[in-house]
Structure formats: C-alpha cells, structure tokens
Amino acid sequence: MFDKLAPTPITEKKYRYLMIVAMVWMFTGAWVDSSAHTFLLDEIETFFTPWHALLYSGYGFVVVSAVYVKNKMKDYKFDVGVLGASIFAIGGGSDAIWHTLLGIETGVEPLISPSHLMLFLGSFLMLDHVFASRPYKDTLDAASIFSIGTIYGLIVFMTQFINPFLDIDLFFYWDWVDRLAAGSVFFNAMLACIVFVYAIRFNVSPNSMGAIFLISFLYQSVFFILGDLMSMALLIVYGLGFSFGARQITNWYYKTNHDRKVQIATALIGSLYGFIVVVNILYWSIGQDVDLVWRFYGLGGLVTTPLLFGYMIGNLGVSPKTGEVVK
C-alpha cells in the first residue's frame, strides 16, 4: 500500500527550488499564526485573520506548484503528497468550523485540537513528498535539506509548550517549574541529536548539516515576530551559533577515524544545544537584570546531561554488528 504512495523522483532543479519557496511560505505562515495566538490572542475573534491568510495562501501556493510540476512531468499519480494536501484541506475546513462553533483555542489547545492535528498530519505527508521525491536516493539536494529542517521545525512547532527558547520564564521560577524547564532542554537536545544521527547517514556536508539546524531556529524566531523582536533577533543569533557548531562537529566527524565518532559527535550536538540554552539564560539574567534561581552546577547539568543522552542516541546510528554507520 505504502509503495503505491511513493512519489515520482523530481530531477529538474527549478521544480525542486519551487518546492523550497512553497515550504518556506507555508510554514512561516504557521509560525506567524502561532505568534498571533500568543501575543494577539485578545484581538483574534474569528477564523478569518491575516495570519490564517498567510498560512493558507502558502498552502494554496503548495497545491498550485504541485499541480504545475505534476502536469509538466505528466505525473498524475496519487502519491503521498496528494494524500497530504487532501488531508490538510479537510483539516483546514474542519478548523474553520471548529473556530466558528467553539471559538479560539488558548494555551496548549491549539497544538492538540483535532482539526490542527489533521493539519499537522497533512503537513508531514507533504514534506515527506519533498524528501522522497529527491533525484538520488543516496544523497540529499537543497530541497531535501530544507525538508528535513522544516520537518524538524514542525516537530518543534508542535511541542513549543516545552521549548526553552520560546518560554524563557520557566528558568526564573523554582518549585515544580524547574522540572519542566530542565525537561524542555533535555527533550529538545535529544531531538537535535536524533536529527543529527538521521542526517549523517546520508553523508551530508558540514554546511548542509548546519543549514538543517539553522532552518529550524529561523522558523522558531518567527514565533516572536508579533510581540518581541529582541527575542526574535536573539534566536537568529543562537541559530547561527548552533549552525556554526554543528558544522564544526560534522567536519570533525568526517576527518576522524575514531571508532566511536558517531556517538561522540551526537553527544557534542546535545551538549551544544544545552550550552546555547545556558547562554540565553545568562543573557536574560545579567543583561535584563532578572534574578537567577539556578545554581552553577544546575546550569552545568543542562549542558552535561544532554552530552550523556546524545552519546546513547548516537548508538542508534550504527550497526550493532559492525559498528559502522547505518545507511
């Protein structure tokens, strides 16, 4: 069944670049809509908002682009992309009805409501189409790199309620909140490690690895576009820093002959994520004169614990028999 949904490879670079534009438009719209739900909630009274217009016009561009490319290729197959676009359309209609009858969701509700989960499923399938239709199965082109970065960004979008950059206030309270704060770092660090292990199996270049993480951070920065431009700028800077670090780690991975290089490189990715979170905490504490409730060894644990998790996750990328990277 699933083999029948496999898309036809798209070899024309101009069509692949068109997919990048479509992805950026649609998923930037999703993050802008999330920003509106966070900073302009009192002003949202209906489904028909400028933020939804940006999101759904992006979806419309995805559909028009797909129809154009398929028509040029004489490809009229019902594949995973068509399935995803259909599910998204149903989810969009359901979302309009949902908002009309039940109003605007608040808190975590927008991320787990049935209509939005349908939108997420459709989005994942459309992104899978971009990835699966790459010209060569053993290498990744620019559109494939963008699809991985966007899928990564979409997972972060769905779990933004446990994100150390999107809710920095978690780190300036104690009691039970400190557990959620630490968990947000560990979860997202492990997610970064999983993305690294997956991408390295395709022998991506250091620049491509850096791009994957930068794309995710850029999407996250849009979360603040309607309410906190300083935080938006900071996330872009952190994204550039993480991207640079990921490039260096990937470069080391290709140059070394260490028999545990996958595990070590993945551990460093996890630790790097924790380190950047700590930098952000210190910025808000020192630069914005906010009382720091975490002690030095607690902050150190936010860096070293992901190091341990990353090493264990790195084992997922190697064969238990040969110790070589699983292709």
- Say what the alpha-carbon torsion angle 235, 236, 241, 243 is, to the nearest 10 degrees: 110
pLDDT tier for residue 295 given thresholds of 50, 70 and 90: confident
- Say what the alpha-carbon torsion angle 282, 287, 288, 291 is, to the nearest 10 degrees: 40
CA 60 vs CA 84, 173, 201, 278: distances in Å: 13, 43, 33, 40
- Is 124's pLDDT higher than 90? yes
pLDDT of residue 318: 81
pLDDT tier for residue 45 given thresholds of 50, 70 and 90: low
Can you tell me the distance from the alpha carbon of 325 to that of 312, in angstroms, rounded to the nearest whole number? 14
